Amino acid sequence: MAGVPFDQRDGEIWYNGEFVPWSDAKVHVLTHGLHYGSSVFEGERAYGGVIFRLEDHTDRLIRSGEILGFKIPYTAEELNAAQRELLARSGLVDAYLRPVAWRGSEMMGVSAQSNRINVAIACWEWPSYFDPAERLKGIRLAMAKYRRPDPQTAPSTAKAAGLYMICTLSKHEAEAQGYADALMLDWRGHVAETTGANVFFVKDGVLHTPVADCFLAGITRDTVIKLAKARGIEVRERTILPEEMADFEQCFLTGTAAEVTPVSEIGPYRFEVGEITRTLMTDYLNEVQPKHDLKLAAAG
């Protein structure tokens, strides 16, 4: 499906409680979510026909809506069931799912108290977020001009569409310079995350990752931290200054789309794709695989 515009694909989209043809899943040009960013979303992957940590993603979607001041008009159970059915109807086994909720077009202006909250879920085949060959040898990151905002100025704990505007700008600029992505600092000048993934560093066998106090503490990030601790690898969540990157040996990104992706370069800093990075890449891929056989064995 590479190269096919997303509004011209085949299949179905779950839209406000119904499965509709892909091309019919439309919104009006005066939708509030388009003009004012009143939209939240999730990104999920299915492996072997099972959506990884589906319940956690759905809970975060509902919580993000609440942070933006609206209530998603479906229960978590209804949204989970819709996503499972959509995946089954798509015929895909390994896929990416995108639930999204937004304020509609009943009112146009900053205030939109009476607008309907719409919800849609799409599902499609999406391979590795980064080029597979580049990913294996470590991707290259630029340093972003824009920073993650102070949580007192933006709802940083919500997966809100509007917060990604500076991410798009930063990634476009990085790609124009020949990089795969960009590392963003926070408003204080501390290392934060990339435009769409959390970041980890390795030094002397210890994992270091920024405290998620002004950006999303990703679900993949949480999974990798647990996998590292299960291996006996110490994990330190702390403030990281940009100049500290000169002393780190390894670096990798985590995210639903990125999975675990090694980094070889961030601006002037260089890293190796070392043993801990490779181990956690393998552990993560093993973790996301469905556990049907294990459950059957336990039941027997």
Q: Cβ-count burial of 136 within 10 angstroms (0-12 exposed, 13-18 middle, 19+ buried)?
A: middle
The pair phi, psi for residue 85, each rounded to 5°, is -70, -40
Q: What is the DSSP string of 105-156?
A: SS--SS--TT--EEEEEEEE----SS-HHHHHH-EEEEEPSS-BPPTTTS-T
Report yes or no: 147 and 111 within 8 Å, Cβ to Cβ.
no
226 is catalytic: no
Using DSSP, state whether 57 is helix, strand or coil. helix
Name the active-site residue from 71, 159, 229, 295. Answer: 159
What distances in angstroms separate CA 63 from CA 33, 57, 76, 205, one per listed residue?
Answer: 17, 10, 11, 35
* Active site residue ranges: 159
